[in-house]
Amino acid sequence: MKKIIKALVVFGTRPEAIKMAPLIKELESREETEVIMCVTAQHREMLDQVLGAFDLEPHYDLNIMQQGQTLGEITTKALRGLENIIKDIRPDIVLVQGDTTTVLAGALAAFYNRVPIGHIEAGLRTYNKYSPFPEEINRLLVGDLADIHFAPTEASRLNLLQENKKAESIYVTGNTVIDALQTTVRDDYENEILDWLGNDKLLLLTVHRRENIGKPMHNIFSAIKDIIEKHKDVKVVYPVHLNPVIQQTAKDVFGKNDRIKLIDPLEVVDFHNLIAKSHIILTDSGGVQEEAPTFGVPVIVLRDTTERPEGIEAGTAKLSGIEYKDIFNIIDKLITDNTAYNKMANAVNPYGNGTASKQIVDIIIKEVRK
């Protein structure tokens, strides 16, 4: 009888958890694999929401989150805790997803203990080390440490080949977030936010990146506020990030506008269903750029760069930059120009067909048993 493959799955933030959840379920469904979950809880509250939504119970919880912690503190606490766990359970492979500080710590801990590393969502690049910060350097470093690269798209595979990663170590699988959407979005979804929306168009806003804090964020919020003033059939919902600086900026700019709803971060089921009901997504997030095209919702990326150029090339997303005038104009055009809107809404989703988790587990079984 062949040995069961022991896979240690490491994650610490809400986006990682959403994208790891369908992979964990797939690993649990196979006779050939045993899955062990470890969370760092780099983001505590927002992570716990996703764990509950997908019915995930971690075997290990490092619970490292502290108010005001630095990137160095996150890295060292996560690395120390993960190293002890790896030494204790001796996994056959460590799986990390994306580009957070937890991902870097997980890959380093595995490398230090000579355990193979599988990197889910590998090969995303802007080639600007401060945009996004610190994610661009995290994923570059993890790319050098990883043994198996699960690239979501062909463009990601080409990035890895350009960096001299071995072709036989790279697999294009699509993105696991598309798998997750199949379990969270419902036709009969109801929410008081939708009652408040009525027949108006919903602009769903998510802004949280470090590099946007300050003047860029003020520009973003000011442009959106003025869009609301111009278009009386549009409303904005903004699940505000828990960062106190972001919360204060949102309150300062938006005030108490009755067509802008500032709410707490949403649980994943609510968030995915609101994406599906949106007219336009306004975001500096990465994952939302992948999720929205599934529902034909145009995405305005509130950044100068994106590591997900596939959406731009396919026409599902547009970069607005971070200047007030550019942001206002690009949103205004989508609201007023039906041809421009429909072109984006009907573009083909470049991020896969919902089978990424199955593909990844098949590859893990094949590669670990070589």
CA distance 206 to 236: 10
CA distance 68 to 79: 19
Q: What distance lies between CA 244 and its chain's CA centroid?
A: 21
Tell me the two tokens of residue 218: 């003020």
Q: Which of 44, 210, 218, 231 is catalytic?
A: 210
Tell me the two tokens of residue 346: 């009907």
> Would residue 99 show up in a list of annotated catalytic residues for this protein?
yes
Sheet hosting strand 299-301, strand order edge to edge: 260-263, 234-239, 201-206, 280-283, 299-301, 317-319
> Would residue 135 show up in a list of annotated catalytic residues for this protein?
yes
Q: Which of 16, 135, 147, 290 is catalytic?
A: 135
- Distance separating the N- and C-terminal Cα atoms of the chain: 15
Q: Do residues 91 and 7 make contact, with C-beta atoms less than 8 angstroms apart?
A: yes
Q: Which of 16, 26, 121, 291 is catalytic?
A: 121
> Would residue 59 show up in a list of annotated catalytic residues for this protein?
no
CA-only gyration radius of the chain, Å: 20
CB atoms within 10 A of CB 321: 16
> Would residue 121 show up in a list of annotated catalytic residues for this protein?
yes
Q: Which of 157, 209, 241, 303 is catalytic?
A: 241
Q: Which of 26, 99, 270, 291 is catalytic?
A: 99
> Would residue 210 show up in a list of annotated catalytic residues for this protein?
yes
CA neighbor of 261 nearest in space, from 205, 327, 328: 205
Q: Which of 30, 44, 208, 218 is catalytic?
A: 208
| DSSP label of 24 | H
> Would residue 144 show up in a list of annotated catalytic residues for this protein?
no
Q: Do residues 97 and 120 make contact, with C-beta atoms less than 8 angstroms apart?
A: yes
| DSSP states of 289-323 | HHHGGGGT--EEE-SS--S-HHHHHHTSEEE--S-
Which residues are tagged catalytic?
Answer: 99, 121, 135, 208, 210, 241
